[in-house]
Chain A
Amino acid sequence: MAKKTKKASTVRSGQRNPATTVRGPKPVYDKVRLPETDQGTIVFRTDPLVVKDHYEIDYIHSYAEDSPFFRGLVEGKLLGSECTGCGYRFATPRAYCMECNAPTRWMELPHEGRVHTWTTCYFGSEAFLKDTPFNLALIEFEGVNTLLLARLVGATEQEIHVGMPVKARFRRLAQFKPTDVYFVPSEKA
């Protein structure tokens, strides 16, 4: 700990000259101050001042009453919902019926269906830009009243058409996401 302040001329010469050494203030360590860090901020422009502001979060997300659907995908089962009141058959999990609001029960969907409508995405949300181009399709199933949204793999924009027969495939290593099931053209299955 340096207790003496050196004059500039002394520093330049690299020699200590006792005659020019003076006593200065002592360093203070108990002053209240925020610690300085090297965590700077990325600045895009200064007028107006525009900076990078990072935000990230992990949720403890429960699939709650829809959990059996995601567990079913691991076993190669596609679960929809059948209304216990009016018998309406949904191709998606939903605890209560949209039509009569009675509770539903799980039912297994066929693995074969048809393309009700579709698109090929060449752009997308940031999270899916890496996947582009990719196909989205709403799948219809015989004897089921509503549709299921899924990726359609193995066909190009030029090949896909409304009414195209498709077949469900399941990821071997589940991610517990709705993309654990996807569809491929039946002839390629």
Chain B
Amino acid sequence: MRPVYMISGGITKFTKAEPRKSFRVLVKEALDYAMRDCPRLTRDHMDGTVVSYFSDHFTRQLKAGVMAVDMCGLVPKPTIRVEGGGATGGLCFQEAWRHIASGWMDCVVALGFETMSHVATWKGNEFIALASDTNFDYPVGGFYTGYYAMMVVRHMHEFGTTVEQLARVSVKNHRNALHNKWAQHHYDITIEDVLRSPMVAYPLKMLDICTMSDGAACAILASEAVAEKVCDHPVRILGVGMGSDAMRMADRPHGPVILLKHEDPSWYKGLKYPGVHSFRAGRTACKMAYEKAGIEDPREDLDFVELHDAYTSSEIQTYEDMGLCRYGEGGKFIDAGHPELTGRIPVNPSGGLIACGHPVGATGLMQAVFAFWQCQGTIAKHNDGDGFIQVKQQRGLGRRRLRGAIHSHAGTGTYVTVSILESTS
């Protein structure tokens, strides 16, 4: 495998509904943004594309990928569509990485979109629930918020996690997004606001849950040779990892914890894992990505994380899967302020899915774009001069380069990808 770099990225502003633009034009605008930000890069450099969108139901257009590529002026070059539920964008990013790491191509454009406003919200929830077992789970009352609600009820039972801790995640991410012009929601909220928002599925309330969005995102990846030629501040993709788990939560085992390098088996005596309280796919993806990137201890070796917080509960569960704290301590981790912008390791400085929105096929690439800007130190440049959410290098750790992880997750933890990005300057 040869080194791979991200050389540019672009997004459209995520919004509840964008009826004036089709998915083709949204994608084209995300690519245009990325190309403007990397002026020496031309279409001639681009060897091919990877396109991600989650649901054919939302577009009601099969093979939509090639239509977006056509609008971007990138036919007849090779293209492929990637799909894996909520992790679709993360999988797309890694597919582009594989195209280059393998030596097959030198410059690949990862394009992602979703236009979810084409159906009413509860019909949209139905489409999303069709990404659960349609023989056994969907007919019982298929509803993703219901599935995650059951997972966090078990997390609360096992570890004593509280609804106030969930609310704290929502407050943190919304507050970060107040300084992110790209975010769909700019809410200045308190814990009480979250707790008082309407109950959707106990214990998850409206403000614990991301919303549906229209939007597109683009990440351009390249080999070292192309990156050096066209980009002033390329960001190295240090390592990638993926994991999977059974579609039916009911089928998940109750066995021993999969340990990260820095963990001790004595921490988890008697804990049945993953059950439905944790995501084995997330842990597997992290373990692989950390090993490839040479990360010994994520608490020391990462400066920030953009993770898939479709629910406040899944952010807390994911702190643990990623080894930012021990299993069971996710609630205490947010209480201590560690994932805040000023904390030990900022999590979702962008505002995450909860505040930025979740146009599924674009989401994982949106995380890549924010992480790319973070590593470049160009957040302010892309945010009307507001650099409030720009993460600073953790001091005294013997490293000079800003490093972050992006984590993309499909419901209920069926596909998870983790990619590690690092500044080159």
Contacts and interface: CB of A to CB of B under 8 A. Distances in A.
Chains A and B form a bound pair? yes
Interface of A: 45, 48, 50, 53, 55, 63, 66, 90-94, 98-99, 116-129, 131, 134, 136-138, 145-151, 157, 162, 177-179
A153 to B, nearest CB: 12
A131 B141 contact: yes
Contacts of A91: 250
Interface string B106-150: 000000000000001011011011000001110111110111011
Contacts of B137: 149, 178
A123 B200 contact: yes
Contacts of A63: 135
Contacts of A178: 135-137, 139-140
Nearest to A180: B139
B199 interface: yes
Given A92-B136, A162-B157, A178-B136, A123 B201 contact: yes
A contact patch SS: mixed
Given A119-B146, A119-B201, A122-B199, A128 B141 contact: yes
A124 B146 contact: yes
A29 B122 CA distance: 49
B135 to A, nearest CB: 6
A121 to B, nearest CB: 4
A122 B201 contact: yes
13 contacts: A90-B251, A91-B250, A98-B251, A124-B122, A124-B125, A124-B141, A125-B126, A126-B120, A147-B276, A149-B140, A162-B154, A162-B157, A178-B136
A45 B117 CA distance: 14
Contact of B154 (A117, A124, A136): A117
**Residue from the set B125, B135, B246 with the largest chain A CB neighbour count within 10 Å:** B135
Interface residues of B, number: 41
B153 A136 contact: no
A116 B157 CA distance: 10
B252 to A, nearest CB: 7
B154 A127 contact: no
B312 to A, nearest CB: 15
B294 interface: no
B117 to A, nearest CB: 10
Listed from nearest, the 6 A-B pairs whose CB atoms lie closest are A119-B149, A125-B126, A117-B154, A147-B250, A126-B122, A124-B143
Nearest to B206: A123
B44 to A, nearest CB: 34
B52 to A, nearest CB: 23
B143 A149 contact: no
B202 interface: yes
Interface in B222-261: 246, 248-254
Interface in B189-226: 198-202
Contacts of B253: 98-99, 145-146
Contact of B143 (A53, A94, A121): A121
Given A91-B250, A128-B141, A149 B136 contact: yes
B250 A148 contact: yes
Contact of A121 (B19, B141, B153, B252): B141
A157 B150 CA distance: 12
Contact of B60 (A50, A55, A118): A55
**Residue from the set B128, B136, B198, B276 with the largest chain A CB neighbour count within 10 Å:** B136
A182 B254 CA distance: 24
